[in-house]
Amino acid sequence: MRGNNNKIKVNETAMRHSGAHLLAYAVQTLYPNVKLAIGPAIDDGFYYDFDFGDIKIQEEDLLKIEKKMLEIQKNDYPFVKIEMTIDEAKKFLEDTKQPYSLSLLKDIESMGSTNKSEMSKDKSKSGSDTVTFYKTGDFINLCKGGHVKSLKDIGPFKLTSIAGAYFRGDEKNPMLTRIYSVCFKDKSTLLNYLKEREENKNRDHRVIGEKLKIFMISEDVGQGLPLLLPNGEQLKYLLERYMRKIEENLEYKYVSTPILTNKKLYERSGHVKFYSEDMYQIKDKENNIFYVKPMNCPHHHMIFEKMVQSYRQLPFKLAEESPLYRNERSGTLTGLIRVRGPITQNDSHIYVSKDQLKKEFMDVLSIFQSVYTDLGIKNYYFRLSLPDFKKDKYEGDKDMWDFASSNIREALKESHSEFKEEIGEAAFYGPKLDVQIKNVYGKEDSIATIQIDILVPGRMGLKYINKYGKEETPIVIHRSILGSYERFIAFMIEQTGGNFPLKFAPIQIRLISVSDKYNDNVIELASSMRNLGVRVDIDITEEGIGKKIRTASLEKIPAKIVIGEKEVLNRKNTNEWAFTINWREDLKYSNNLSLSELLDILNSEKI
């Protein structure tokens, strides 16, 4: 069964890669002066990057391009392999005015004879290395291959969106136009996917976040700098309180560190070397250089250095909720998922000895599982990000890298956690475990992470006295259960559709007056409920009852309570409030409750 699944995946990859060629063929036919860049297969489809010059491609142009693709596909051209020497390929690409393909060809040429086999293992008769192109009808493209037999083998497709993308992902390169498409083996799968995609648009955290008054983006404030509105700040506060309670029960000690830090601290930790382009730099009047804090770890290391002397103090657990700022590329910014700041991390650093590492790591996994279950976060998986020692991004002792990696792997297996391994995704200071989840559009993001730092503690000279009376360097577990609160709110919105669990709802109850006659009763009751810890607001506008209830329903308020003559008389006669409660559909509590019974429910959901 496993082998069969792999075979399907390979076939779909070839089909989607071929679809990218068909897209480029159609675009080049419609826009003869277009410059082609890169077009790979991706999950559920493919994309291609184009330089249209002065032409601005809009969403409405996709139908025209798609129509041309279908027209070309009817000719059922085969994919024909063509080999050229490097010199022949250069001349062809120069003659056809394809600078991006020329750039790729130069990379192939500079890779050396061993890596040129990535494009072709063959040699020409003259002994020169060759590269491969693929011809489909009149379209010829530099490509290493992996296609279906002919155009008819490309399954049903649908162009879905346009985005900007830098060539090779480098903002120093030109901004290109990326056209996305989905592609499947049969029409029913495509139609089901498109239907689900359309439904998922209604779960986009940017759309729901605006409707529920969670956050806003202001151009005057700046890209990637969202403003949390009262409901968003309340939700963030509830999550912070929830995590702090859990962590303090597990002996984490909360600290607070400054938002500005002298450059020398980051030089000492090594972050200047590996991370300087992602940090905001400030120079004061005395020419001292400071960074706006992008991470907490170097500051926590200073606290460890001050407070810990003996192995008896380990594990030493520090936690902080501190706003961080990172110089993210504008093209990557997405609502609350990717921001420049504030990035308020649910951050912690656990200082351990070697023999404590696996147990503490397993304890962190346990927190993940219980918290995510409690918060209703589903469909995530763990990605074990390991080093690629062929690259110079990773430093330090290879044995320590292997030790840390094997401890993570063993902890995952012993805790029965599913995970995938990814080479080349480790942090510069150690392997890490990322918690991966897809947003409503299928893009995968890291929601949180656990990292093992085997490099920076030694570089910064952190020491403690071990049980043999000798100095030893601690290992540090960097741990963020919710990642940043802002990003977690985005995923929470998309996973719940805005129907937050009762304990996390920014507003739990809306009191609605039947008429102006009962406004004072509503105001008095709301005040009493707030004093008892209930998150309640009121609607005493002049709108009709039906509209008031509909408005509260659209705002995903868990409970709506109408206050009129019946409720006020009952309160006067019995000295107790009793209500008919209109609960949100996903909440299955009784509709008829006294105030004391309602408070019992809310107290059971208290953080």
CATH of the domain at 553: 3.40.50.800
H or E stretch including 348? strand 343-352
Question: What pLDDT does 436 receive?
Answer: 87
Task: Record the pTM.
Answer: 0.77
Residue position matching structure tokens 């991370």? 275
Please report, to the nearest 10 degrees, the dihedral formed by the alpha carbons of residues 315, 320, 325, 329 taken in order: 50
Question: What pLDDT does 452 receive?
Answer: 92
Shared domain check, 572 and 460: no
Report which of 88, 161, 94, 96 is spatially closest to residue 129, judged by C-alpha positions.
88
Q: Please report whether residue 125 resides in a domain.
A: yes
d(CA 388, CA 426): 8
Question: What pLDDT does 437 receive?
Answer: 83
**pLDDT tens digits, 170-229:** 777 888 999 999 999 999 999 999 988 887 778 889 999 999 999 999 989 999 999 999
**Helical ranges in 503-594 per DSSP H:** 519-531, 545-554, 565-574
Q: Which of 377-386, 433-442, 572-581 has the lowest mean pLDDT?
A: 433-442
Residue 187's CATH number: 3.30.980.10
Q: Please report whether residue 193 resides in a domain.
A: yes
DSSP secondary structure letter of residue 474: P
Shared domain check, 263 and 177: no
Shared domain check, 177 and 276: no
d(CA 532, CA 529): 5
| Cα 522 to chain centroid, rounded | 42
Q: CA triplet 394, 395, 400: central angle to 5 degrees?
A: 100
Give the pLDDT band (50/70/90) at residue 393. Answer: low
Asked whether the predicted pLDDT for residue 116 surpasses 70, the reply is no
Report which of 540, 529, 488, 487 is spatially closest to residue 507, judged by C-alpha positions.
529
Shared domain check, 413 and 278: yes
Residue 332's CATH number: 3.30.930.10
Mean pLDDT of the chain: 89
Shared domain check, 190 and 227: no
Asked whether the predicted pLDDT for residue 513 surpasses 70, the reply is yes
Q: 355 Cβ partners below 8 Å, 6+ apart?
A: none
Shared domain check, 449 and 371: yes
Give the pLDDT band (50/70/90) at residue 390. Answer: low
Q: Please report whether residue 189 resides in a domain.
A: yes
Q: Please report whether residue 502 resides in a domain.
A: no
Q: Please report whether residue 127 resides in a domain.
A: yes
d(CA 589, CA 592): 9
Report which of 212, 441, 237 is spatially closest to residue 337, judged by C-alpha positions.
441
In the chain, pLDDT over 90 holds for what percent of residues? 67
Q: 547 Cβ partners below 8 Å, 6+ apart?
A: none
d(CA 577, CA 14): 67
Please give the average per-residue pLDDT across 35-60, as a whole number. 92
CA atoms within 13 Å, Cβ hemisphere of 22: 39
Please give the average per-residue pLDDT across 577-601, as a whole number. 94
Q: Please report whether residue 161 resides in a domain.
A: yes
Shared domain check, 375 and 520: no
Contact assessment for residue 177 and residue 335, using Cβ atoms and an 8 Å cutoff: no
Please count the other Cβ atoms lying within 10 Å of the Cβ belonging to residue 490: 28
Asked whether the predicted pLDDT for residue 8 surpasses 50, the reply is no
Contact assessment for residue 39 and residue 16, using Cβ atoms and an 8 Å cutoff: no
436 vs 209 pLDDT, higher one? 209
Shared domain check, 138 and 15: yes
Rg (alpha carbons) of the chain, rounded to whole number: 29
Which one-letter amino acid corresponds to residue 339? V
Of the three residues 444, 465, 496, the one that is the final residue of a domain is 496
Active site amino acids: 297, 326, 345, 347, 349, 432, 478
Question: What pLDDT does 374 receive?
Answer: 86
271 vs 211 pLDDT, higher one? 211
Please give the average per-residue pLDDT across 483-491, as a whole number. 92
d(CA 272, CA 265): 9
Shared domain check, 300 and 389: yes
Shared domain check, 12 and 135: yes
Asked whether the predicted pLDDT for residue 2 surpasses 70, the reply is no
Asked whether the predicted pLDDT for residue 266 surpasses 80, the reply is yes
Asked whether the predicted pLDDT for residue 408 surpasses 80, the reply is yes
Which one-letter amino acid corresponds to residue 174? P
332 vs 210 pLDDT, higher one? 210
d(CA 10, CA 184): 13
What are the angstrom distances between the C-alpha of 280 and each of 173, 295, 331, 383, 534?
22, 12, 18, 29, 41
Shared domain check, 158 and 270: no
What are the angstrom distances between the C-alpha of 593 and each of 428, 473, 567, 583?
57, 60, 12, 12
Q: Whole domain around residue 282: which residue ranges?
A: 208-496
Give the pLDDT band (50/70/90) at residue 270. Answer: confident
d(CA 335, CA 333): 7
Q: Please report whether residue 503 resides in a domain.
A: no
Contact assessment for residue 408 and residue 417, using Cβ atoms and an 8 Å cutoff: no
Contact assessment for residue 147 and residue 139, using Cβ atoms and an 8 Å cutoff: no
Question: What pLDDT does 506 receive?
Answer: 97
Asked whether the predicted pLDDT for residue 159 surpasses 90, the reply is yes
Please count the other Cβ atoms lying within 10 Å of the Cβ belonging to residue 89: 23
Q: CA triplet 554, 443, 11: central angle to 5 degrees?
A: 130
Contact assessment for residue 340 and residue 224, using Cβ atoms and an 8 Å cutoff: yes
* First-to-final CA distance of the chain: 46
Decide the pairing of beta strands 215-216 and 444-453: unpaired
Q: CA triplet 45, 84, 53: central angle to 5 degrees?
A: 55
Asked whether the predicted pLDDT for residue 588 surpasses 50, the reply is yes
Q: Please report whether residue 181 resides in a domain.
A: yes
Of the three residues 496, 530, 552, the one that is the final residue of a domain is 496
* 3-state secondary structure string across 52-69: CCCCCCCCCHHHHHHHHH
385 vs 72 pLDDT, higher one? 72
Please give the average per-residue pLDDT across 562-580, as a whole number. 93
Report which of 521, 503, 601, 490 is spatially closest to residue 208, judged by C-alpha positions.
490
Give the pLDDT band (50/70/90) at residue 265. Answer: very high
What are the angstrom distances between the C-alpha of 394 and each of 109, 298, 426?
27, 18, 8
Shared domain check, 212 and 195: no
Per the structure block, which two tokens stand in for 444?
């995968």
Looking at the 3D structure of the chain, how many domains does it have? 3
d(CA 489, CA 486): 5
Report which of 290, 276, 284 is spatially closest to residue 326, judged by C-alpha positions.
276
Of the three residues 142, 171, 199, the one that is the final residue of a domain is 199
Please count the other Cβ atoms lying within 10 Å of the Cβ belonging to residue 431: 27
